[in-house]
Amino acid sequence: MTKETILKAVRVCAGKLGRNPNLRELRLMAGVQEKAVYRRVGGLRKAFELAGLPAIGPGFKPAERALLLDWARVAHKLKKLPTVLEYQRVGRYSIKPFHTRYGHWSRVAEAFRRFAGAAQNRGLRRQWRDVLEMIASTATASGHGKKARAGDPGATMHFRAGGVMPDRPVYGRPLGWPELAHAPVNELGVVYAFGAMARRLGFIVYRIQPGFPDCEALREVAPGQWQWVRIEFEFESRNFLKHRHRHDRCDIIVCWKHNWKDCPLEVVELGKEFEGLLGN
């Protein structure tokens, strides 16, 4: 695949989506593999620049002002505070910069309230009065008439003073999902979580093995077209480095938490996938 072919695919996908595509969308919509983007163009950011597209989307870090104002625009349009899935359908940005800045989708509304309340942003209070009223109304509803439960966003939790008891197992946060009640706390949990989500993510698992790489699977790369991929499971993506695995013998890292900033491989972060699925 040539550089010109990749840039043309980026423009076509951007035209169809109304925004810059991410690597997964490039693969599914145009059959452009992540490795080809890095080898032929130098990465997704460079591809957008060479294709003449604005610096919005994967590979770019939007300013907080742009991020929060777009979130408010979506809330105004929907006349409600958007869930993750609702924002993904209407918003200009991906979910990743929100999670990077605020940690959890439920904290975005409060971040916007503080942003609009800053002295230098007084004009925003009038412009986005309806959104601020939605935030206030939601905060009131969640604070009264509803008892906070473990797993509720914003619930106040009281931890045991003595810390973790060594004779008891440890569970991840409650997910409220029938296939998996709690988030994984180790690599085996990631393997199971991937199995529960594989079909939704476009994978058909062929083999799980104790050696490296952990998994062989088929992946839908375009409608009706599948390719063989090699997958390594890790609880955190940086564990791939700790285990000294070879990059050239693996295609994808499947993890619960992605914390490897300059990872050269594609990463499927199941924690974010679950949040999108549940609309948190």
One domain for residues 264 and 204: yes
CB 99 within 8 A of CB 87: no
Phi-psi sector, 61: left (phi>0), alpha (psi -120 to 50), beta: beta
CB 65 within 8 A of CB 39: no
CB 203 within 8 A of CB 217: yes
pLDDT for 145 equals 40
Per-residue pLDDT reduced to its tens digit, 190-220:
999 999 888 888 899 999 998 899 999 998 8
Within 13 Å, how many C-alpha atoms sit on residue 22's CB side?
Answer: 12
One domain for residues 101 and 14: no
- Can you name the residues that pair with 252 across neighbouring β-strands? 231, 266
Q: What is the residue range of 101's domain?
A: 64-143
176 in any annotated domain: no
pLDDT for 44 equals 82
One domain for residues 45 and 80: no
Rounded Cα distance, 156 and 255, in Å: 28
159 in any annotated domain: no
CB 94 within 8 A of CB 58: yes
pTM score, two decimals?
A: 0.46
83 in any annotated domain: yes
58 in any annotated domain: no
Which is more confidently placed, 122 or 258?
Answer: 258
178-210: string of b/e by CB count within 10 Å (b at 16+)? eebeebbeebebbbebbeebbeeeebeeeeeee
One domain for residues 39 and 74: no
SS3 168: coil
Question: What are the helix and strand counts (H, E) for the chain?
Answer: 13, 7
Domain count, the chain: 3
Q: Which amino acid is at 1?
A: M
Q: What angle do CA 153, 154, 160 make, to 5 degrees?
A: 105
Which residue in this structure is represented by tokens 């409650």?
174
Length of the chain, in residues: 280
Residue 23 CA to its chain's centroid (Å): 13
225 in any annotated domain: yes
Alpha helices in the chain (DSSP H): 3-17, 23-30, 34-36, 44-50, 64-78, 84-90, 96-102, 108-117, 122-127, 129-143, 187-201, 239-242, 270-278
Mean pLDDT to the nearest integer, 25-44: 88
One domain for residues 221 and 264: yes
25 in any annotated domain: yes
One domain for residues 87 and 129: yes
Per-residue pLDDT reduced to its tens digit, 215-261:
999 988 777 788 999 999 999 999 999 899 998 899 999 999 999 98
112 in any annotated domain: yes
Helix (H) or strand (E) holding 92: none
Q: Could you give the maximum distance between any two Cα atoms of the chain, in Å?
A: 61
38 in any annotated domain: yes
One domain for residues 193 and 226: yes
Which residue in this structure is represented by tokens 């605020």?
102
One domain for residues 29 and 96: no
Range with the largest mean pLDDT of 116-120, 139-143, 161-165: 116-120
One domain for residues 69 and 44: no
Query: Pick from 91, 125, 143: which residue ends a domain?
Result: 143
